[in-house]
A = this chain, B = another copy of it.
Amino acid sequence: MGEHTVASFDEELGSIDQLIRDMGALSATMVADATRALLSSDNPLAQRVISDDAIMDAKQRELDEQAITLIARRQPMAQDLRAVVSAIRMASDLERIGDLAKNIAKRVGAVGQSATPKPLAHSIDSMASLVHDQVKNVVAFYAERRSEELPALRADDEKIDIKYTAIFRELLTYMMEDPRNITACTHLLFCAKNLERIGDHVTNIAENAYYVMTGRQLPMSRPRVDETAVSDAAG
């Protein structure tokens, strides 16, 4: 073995990082496409998101395989090992983001052609665009090792939660106004909840990325809050 040119540990980790960047780019696209498909009843686009999810799954399996092979062959010590384990965790969060985007895409048919009221469509679009940027940025900050950007990025998850709570209340109003809205609004509710959960996965990725880069936990860990899941939303 010694006479071969052997790639360094960092080079092999670089190949794993490339998979994370690919998964990050694809999952951000899936979030944007799923939302566009939902708000414009675009079934072919929804289908593309659904098939993109198979690519995400394949990339995650590839990353897992590479990571395990790397650990087995290189037997890295504490810090390098943590980098590989963190990559496995980030890939798992990205894969779940893809899953959640796929779930939005699968509801496009159920929501149907019934035009989503303009203000509601605007709220959902604005929430999705924030979520999309968060997904894109967290992977960019990880890839470019810009740890100093991560605290503000994680703090922005609160903006997503605030938008989710507003959409939740808006949807309840539409449902109460007219029972014929209930089925479609129920599916939109799950879509909004999925976007909120994507934000939580971004938070996980930010925390993992920060830890790998700095060896420290992101200060002042923020609890993932769904404000609608507490008693004050009952009224």
Contact = CB atoms under 8 A, between A and B. Distances in A.
A154 interface: no
Interface string A174-198: 0110010011101101100100000
A189 B172 CA distance: 13
A77 to B, nearest CB: 6
Interface in A187-235: 187, 189-190, 193, 226, 228-231, 233-235
Contact of A81 (B71, B77, B229, B235): B71
A172 B184 CA distance: 11
Contact of A190 (B82, B184, B193): B193
Interface stretch (A27-35, A101-109, A116-124): A101-109
B229 A187 contact: yes
21 contacts: A64-B85, A68-B81, A68-B85, A72-B76, A75-B75, A85-B88, A88-B88, A92-B92, A103-B226, A110-B228, A110-B231, A110-B234, A111-B234, A172-B183, A175-B182, A176-B182, A183-B233, A183-B234, A186-B189, A187-B234, A190-B229
Interface of A: 64, 68, 71-72, 75-78, 81-82, 85, 88, 92, 103, 106-107, 109-112, 168, 172, 175-176, 179, 182-184, 186-187, 189-190, 193, 226, 228-231, 233-235
Given A88-B88, A110-B233, A111-B234, 4 more contacts: A71-B71, A106-B226, A175-B175, A184-B234
